[in-house]
Every structure is written in structure tokens, then in C-alpha cells.
Structure 1
Amino acid sequence: MADPPAPTRRARTILALLVLFMMINFMDKTVLGLAGKHIRDDLGLSDTAFGSIGSAFYLLFSVSGIVVGFLADRVPARRLLAVLVVVWSASQLVIGLPAAGLGALLVTRVTLGAAEGPAFATANHTAFGWFPDRDRALPSSLLTVGGAAGVAIGAPLLAVVVTRFGWRAAFALTGVLGVLWTLAWLGLGGEGPYASRTEPAPDEPRVPYRRLLTRGTVLGGLAAGFAGFWTMAVAVTWLPQYLQRVHGIALEKASLIAAGTQVVGIAFMLAIGYASTRMMRAGRTSRSARGVLGGAAVVVSGLATLLVTRVGGGAALILVMMIAFTVGNAFFGLMQAALSELVPASRRGALLGIVTAVASTAGAFGPLLTGAIVDAAATRAAGFQHAFDLGAALMVCGGLLAAALIRPSRDRAALDPAPASAVLTH
């Protein structure tokens, strides 16, 4: 099999902009957790009330993910991504105003979630327009790395801003970064040669979405994706406070620990994405290269999450966190690549949006339930242990289901009226 052509300079530029897109996206998410203690003290909030702010982010996250997923197959990416970033930047900038209180924080977390809900799927859909199928795992992994880099770079920066200029200044900074990205995207962004078509080709099969959504690949992706989003939402909202309130670590040091874990996580995610791409190029099935590999990463993170509250502090805690909150994130990129195999380009944006949106409903429950568990426990340490154990159980179960159910080639063959042998040898 001949090697595919190398990506063009334009493709690399678009991918770089999309990585920055994901970096800012995760800085927006991270700022709430980093500023959490200051927000709680300033507004007089209980753990349950603060958890509700974290969960408010996901109120429209899934709904907008589905809606924008369908729009992504019809609206040019240059316009669509710009609108999303303008909305989420405005949401952050409002909180920078001194008059903004609890009500404004709740409302803007909802609008922020509505704008960021479609972000990962839409960024992948746009990137896939510039790369052929067997080369998509690495670009998608790079987008996941962008989120990790947003935490690695953003956490120390935002922590300094919070401690020296106040928590509102940190929200304002992320809003300004979003505005600057929008200007760059409007000047350089666009769609590639593999972008979705406005109308299907005459010979393209019309598969009902109910058949698509009941394939094993979709169900496996939902199981592990739900678990991954649960743990991600809990970590973004509560991990800095866990380090501060249980281990007595100052905010700036906690942010450096979080950054360090993400730097190591970037190496993990790049290695897994690269391994998946090499496996596909070597002729391995997408089941092994994307389903089994991705599911195993989620299981490993789940097992490590069980240890977070059991290893004590120091280097052991940092080492476990490096695995627990990073390795499983590699699944998101592999999941997007696996899902893109099931449908032609004209329906790719919708399917990616639907699956990501449904999986991300976990974020509406995880932070809120974590706050309630911490409030109800005899001690803070016990509460966080119960909450993290729940996330660990979800990840182990979800990862095993993903490894067993994700079989893109088989599922595509079941949907395609063409002979199965023709599809499987594609």
C-alpha cells in the first residue's frame, strides 16, 4: 500500500489553528476550578452550590453539540467556528466585570457550555476535511493534546492572574484570547478537500440515523466517552480544590502540579495517536488500532484514578495523577477517527456531534454529584475518595466496553449495501 501524500502547508496551518482553538477552549474550562476557592469565599458558596456552577456549564452543552453537529455539514467551518468562539469569549468577558455576581456566573457558564459543547467534534470534523481516513488518528490526537496544552500552559498562568489580580481578571484574559483567535481564524481558516458535501453524491447510501446510532462502534464510543467526560469535568472543577483542601497545597503550586501532569499526558496522547496511525498504515484493523487501543487507555486511567486518594502525597501522588487524568484522554481522538469511518463526509459532522454531545451529558452530573458527595461525607478526604472512586469505576467499565464493541469496518460493512468483502478490504 503506497504511503499517502504528505499534508500540505495549508493543512498544517489549519491544524495548528485548531490546536490553539482547543487550548483556549480548555483554558476557559480550567479557570473555574483554579479560581474555585476564591469564588466560593467571595460569593459565600457551599460545595454543592459551587458544584452546581460546574454542572451548569453542561446544561446546553449536549443540545448545542447535536444542533451544531448537523450545521457543520452545511455551514462553512470558517464561519461556524468563529461564531462559537465569539459566544464563548463574550461569556468569559462578562464575568470580568465587577458587577457580575452569582446569577451572571451561572448564566454565562450555560452560554459558555452551549458554545463549547460542539467545539471538539466540530474541530475534528474540520480537521478531517484536510486529511484522509487512515491519517486521521494523529490530527485528532493533536486536538486532544491541544486541550491538555491549554491546561499545562493555562493553569500556571491563570493561577498567577487569580492570586495577583483577582479571579475576575482570569476570566477576562481567556475572553481576550478567544477574540484574538477569532481574528486569526477569519484570516486563515477554511475547509479542505475532504470536507463534507452539501448534498450526498447520487450513489451515496442513505442510512437512517437510528441504524447508525445503534452500531457497536457508536455504543462503545458512548460508554467510554461518557466515563471520560465525567472524569474530565470532575477534574476540571474539583481537582485544584482537592489538592488545596486535602493536601494543603497552595493554588500556584497546585496549578504547576496540574500543568506537569498535562505535559506528561501530552507525551502519552501523542504516542498513542502515533501508534494508532502506524497500526492503520501497517494494515491492522481499526478495531485494534482505535477501539482496543483507546479502550485500554481508558481502563488504565480508571485504575490509576482509584489510587489518587490512596497513595498519600508527594511524588507518588503526582505520578498517579499523570496517568489518571491524561492517558484516558487519548480515547477521544481515536473515538472521533473511528466514528468518521462509519459515514460519508456529508453526515460526518452530525454523527460526531451527536455522539460527543450524548457522551458529554456526564459533565452535567459529575461536578454536582461530586460536590454533594463531599458535603455529605464525614471528612473532605473521604468525600473526594468516594467521588474519585465513582469516576474510576465508570472509566474501567467504559474502557472495557469500548474495546469490545468498537469495530468500525464491521459496522460500516453492515450499513453499506456494497459487498462486505469490498468494504473490509478498503
Structure 2
Amino acid sequence: MSVSTDYRPKSAWTITVLLTGLAMINFLDKIVLGMVAVPLMADMHLSPVRFGVVAGSFFWLFSTSTVIVGFLSNRIATRWILLAMGASWSVLQLPQAFTASASALLFCRVVLGAAEGPSFPTSVHALFKWFPDQKRSVPVAVINQGAILGMMLAGLGIPLITLHWGWRANFLALAAVGCVWCVLWLCFGREGTLTDRMRRPHAIDQDSASVAPERLPYLRILTDASVLSVFLLGFVAYWLLGQTVTWLPTYLEKGLGFSSIASGRWFALVIAFAAPVNIGLSGLSQRMMKHGATSREARARLSSVAMTGGALLFIVLATVDLTPIQKVLCYAIAGALPTLCLSVAPAMLAEMVPPAQRGSIIAINTAVASLGAAVGPVVMGRLVESHASAGSHAYELGILVTAVLLIVAALVALLWLHPERSLQQLKRDAAPIAV
């Protein structure tokens, strides 16, 4: 495949760096509640279930706003959508810093979740305007490292801020960071011009059958087996993400007995471990495609293997008698492997659907996936509360549930996720549609 003359590496990677910064802020906003869980629960007299509800409320409108903005991103420049999101996040930190009740905090988290929901799909849609298909796995993986960087900074910085100035000061710091990003984006953020007219020559064939139609009925896209398989992978990956950002700090402190500062450092280590694993596996996927592998081989099967490996390690953590440090290291590896699907899932969707509908489909995928992050913390909270006397085993029961979901998603992808075949079928079933 020849690369379009519209591909400009320097500009493309500048945008990637800026979007990585946005992802960092996004995940700082997500993780902050989990990192201040212990003092916040004590201050507001919240039970584990009520805290799980407040934490999960971040995702209540996450899906709705993601879909709405996803459709808008098909028609409005992503540069301005992303700027509006970044500015709104900064403003919405302020009421969280001063709220005095659990109900008010819950309301703040719902609104912030609605504002932050479209971030990832809009960022990916913007990124794909700068990178051709074969070069997309690594840039998306780099954006995902913004999430990892955000969680690392949270693990190291939030406990210290809380120790010196109280848990509320963290929200003021996040507001300031968001303002800085908005200024940088205004100065350097631009809209990409790359189109998806080129397809990998081995994807289907050399003729026009390998090019997606201009538009397809959304019902046909959303009932395709490969698309649904990608949605399930995302749902389970976000379930794991919700478990990690909400309950891992508490598991480390109350379940495994680490101090609050030590828990923050171990949390940062767990998150940091995901960065090289995610980039390494994404790079492997991209190299496989460069050397002739199909998307099914380099993206779908590799994701399935990674998820299965993570699930098996979670099972070991929950069933084998390990020391606290061994459990942390086991969680670090197990939690890192499934992150590959967060990098390759948007690329698989982008190669199957028309470019004119890419933003909305990636947004729908994120909306469906985020439901996992909304439900997961509540399930874990109920397990922790109902097995409170079991200590760390209460949390590990929730980890076992996650392991089962990872295995199910991996098996579904192995059986039904065929991006190249779905492109053929969607092309064959295409019919004119007014949108």
C-alpha cells in the first residue's frame, strides 16, 4: 500500500502528543475519586455500595453523550469539539472541590462523565485523519499511554496532595491542568486531512470491493458479528478499567494492608507496567500487518490471546496463596495484557465501516464499552460489602468475576471477529441510505 501524500508524520505525531495529554487529564479525572476513596468515604459516611454507586455514576450519561457527540463528529471539526470538552472538564472540577454531600458529588460526577464520555472516540476519529490504516495501532496505543500516565501521576501525586492539603485540593489541581491543555490545543491543534481511500492490498482484493461504500444502514453495521464482537471486547476491557481505577487503591490499602502512601506507589507501578506492554503488543500487531498478516490475525486473535492470558493470571491471584507483593505484581501483568484491545478495536472498526460513519461507530463502541465501567464498580462494591469479613478475598471474588468475563470475550472474538470478511459482507449488503 502506498501512503497518501496527505500523510505528514511530524504534524500527525504533534497531534498524537496533544491527544495523549488530553487522555492523561481524562484519566486523572476518572481515578481521582478512587484515590481519595478512604478519606472521602469517612468524611461523607459512605458505605462501600454507596461509594460504588457514586463512582459508577461517572458513566451514567457517559454512553449517551458519547453517541451524540460521535454523530456530531461526523460533521463538525474535531478540533473544536475537543477544545469544548477540555474547557468544560476544567470548569466542572470546581463544584467537586466544594461539594458537601454525597448527592451533590454524585450529580457532579454524572455531569463530568457526560462531558468526558466522548473524549476517546473523538480523539481516535481526529487521529485517524492523520494516520493511514496500517499505521494506526501504535498512535492509538500512545494515546492510551496518556491514560496510563494519568493514573501513574494519580498514584504518586494524589496521596501527597491529600496528605498536605486534603482530598478536595485534588480537584482544584485538575482544573488548572485542564486550562493549560486548552491553551496548548488552541496553539497547536489542527484538523487532519487524510482520507481512507486506500486499503491494505491483502485485506480482500485489489479492486473496488476492498473499499467501503460511502454509507451503510446503521442497523446493518450494528448487527454485524465482527462489530458486536469488538463491542464485547470493549465492554469487558472497560469493566476491568472500572475495577482498577475505583477499587484497586482500596484493595491495596484495606485488602492487602499497605499504607495510603505505599498503596499509591504500588498503584502507580501497576499502571506503569501497562505502558510498555500495551505499546509492545500494539507494535507487534502493526509489524504483523506490515509483514502480510490479516487484521484478524494481527488484531483480533492477538487481542484474544492477551485477554486470555490476563484472565488466567487473575485466577491465579484470586485462588493461589501469594504474598501481598506477589499479588500486586500478578495484578500488574494481568491488568496490562487486555489493554491491547483498547488500541486495536477502533482500528478494526475503522477498516470495516465507511469513513463518513467512522466517528459515530467508534463513539457507539465507546458508549457500549463504558457500560462495563459503570456496572463493574457497583458489582465489586456489593461483593466487598457482602463479604466484608473475608478481607482481601472479598475483592478477589470480584477479580474472579472479571477473569470469567475476559475469557468469554476472548472466545467470542476468536469465533466471530473477522474484520476482512465483515468488510466484504457490508459492501455486498450496502444500500443507499439518507442520514
Worse-matched range after superposition: 121-130 or 142-151: 142-151
| Matched residue type, 2:302 | L
| Matched residue type, 1:108 | C
Deviation at 1:188, TM superposition (A): 1.2
User: 2:417 pairs with 389, 401, 406, which one?
Assistant: 406
Matched, 1:301 2:310: yes
| Matched residue type, 1:352 | I
Misfit runs of 4+, over 6 Å: 3-6
Contact 2:230 2:417 in 1 (8 A): yes
The aligned counterpart of 2:258 is: 249
Matched residues in 2 for 1:318 and 1:263: separation? Answer: 12
Matched, 1:394 2:405: yes
The aligned counterpart of 2:123 is: 123
Deviation at 1:7, TM superposition (A): 4.2
CA offsets 1:223-279 (integer angstroms, 9 cap, x no match): 221111111101111110011111111121111111112222110001111111111
Matched, 1:352 2:343: no
Matched, 1:102 2:102: yes
Matched residues in 2 for 1:196 and 1:241: separation? Answer: 45
The aligned counterpart of 1:366 is: 376
The aligned counterpart of 2:292 is: 283
Task: In structure 2, list runs of 5 or more residues that go unmatched.
Answer: 198-211, 431-435
Matched residues in 2 for 1:172 and 1:399: separation? Answer: 40
Change in 2 beyond 3 A, CA 1:3/1:68: closer
Matched residues in 2 for 1:79 and 1:54: separation? Answer: 29
| Matched residue type, 2:33 | L
Matched residues in 1 for 2:403 and 2:162: separation? Answer: 30
Matched residues in 2 for 1:101 and 1:81: separation? Answer: 31
Q: Secondary structure in 2 aligned to 1:57?
A: helix
The aligned counterpart of 1:375 is: 385
Worse-matched range after superposition: 144-153 or 106-115: 144-153
| Matched residue type, 2:315 | L
Matched residues in 1 for 2:240 and 2:83: separation? Answer: 28
Contact 1:215 1:411 in 2 (8 A): yes
1:140-159 equivalences in 2 (<5 Å): 140-159=140-159
Matched residues in 1 for 2:398 and 2:419: separation? Answer: 33
The aligned counterpart of 2:204 is: none
The aligned counterpart of 2:165 is: 165
Deviation at 1:216, TM superposition (A): 2.1
| Matched residue type, 1:126 | A
Deviation at 1:324, TM superposition (A): 1.9
The aligned counterpart of 1:214 is: 223
Contact 1:156 1:255 in 2 (8 A): yes
The aligned counterpart of 1:422 is: none
Q: Secondary structure in 1 aligned to 2:104?
A: helix
CA offsets 1:331-383 (integer angstroms, 9 cap, x no match): 11110111100122211000000111012111221111211111111423232
Contact 2:94 2:175 in 1 (8 A): yes
1:178-197 equivalences in 2 (<5 Å): 178-194=178-194
Deviation at 1:154, TM superposition (A): 2.7
Matched residues in 2 for 1:12 and 1:373: separation? Answer: 43
The aligned counterpart of 1:11 is: 12
CA offsets 1:106-131 (integer angstroms, 9 cap, x no match): 01110111112111111111111100
Change in 2 beyond 3 A, CA 1:315/1:379: closer
Change in 2 beyond 3 A, CA 1:211/1:356: same
The aligned counterpart of 2:283 is: 274
Contact 2:256 2:324 in 1 (8 A): no
Matched, 1:233 2:234: no
CA offsets 1:286-345 (integer angstroms, 9 cap, x no match): 001110111211222222222333443344123211112222112111101111001222
Change in 2 beyond 3 A, CA 1:311/1:349: farther
TM-score, normalised on structure 1?
A: 0.92
TM-score, normalised on structure 2?
A: 0.91
CA RMSD of aligned residues (A): 2.0
CA offsets 1:113-161 (integer angstroms, 9 cap, x no match): 1112111111111111100011111111111122111112232011211
Q: Secondary structure in 2 aligned to 1:325?
A: helix
User: 2:334 pairs with 318, 324, 328, which one?
Assistant: 324
Q: Secondary structure in 1 aligned to 2:216?
A: coil
The aligned counterpart of 2:206 is: none
Contact 1:276 1:293 in 2 (8 A): yes
Identity of aligned residues (%): 33
Contact 2:216 2:354 in 1 (8 A): no
Deviation at 1:4, TM superposition (A): 7.3
| Matched residue type, 1:62 | S
Deviation at 1:45, TM superposition (A): 0.7
Contact 1:311 1:317 in 2 (8 A): no
The aligned counterpart of 2:81 is: 80
Contact 1:144 1:330 in 2 (8 A): no
Deviation at 1:3, TM superposition (A): 7.0
The aligned counterpart of 1:55 is: 56
| Matched residue type, 1:313 | T
Change in 2 beyond 3 A, CA 1:399/1:183: same
| Matched residue type, 2:150 | G
Deviation at 1:196, TM superposition (A): 8.8
Deviation at 1:412, TM superposition (A): 0.6
Matched residues in 2 for 1:44 and 1:418: separation? Answer: 56
Matched residues in 2 for 1:298 and 1:61: separation? Answer: 24
Matched residues in 2 for 1:308 and 1:191: separation? Answer: 45
Matched residues in 2 for 1:119 and 1:305: separation? Answer: 29
Worse-matched range after superposition: 4-13 or 72-81: 4-13
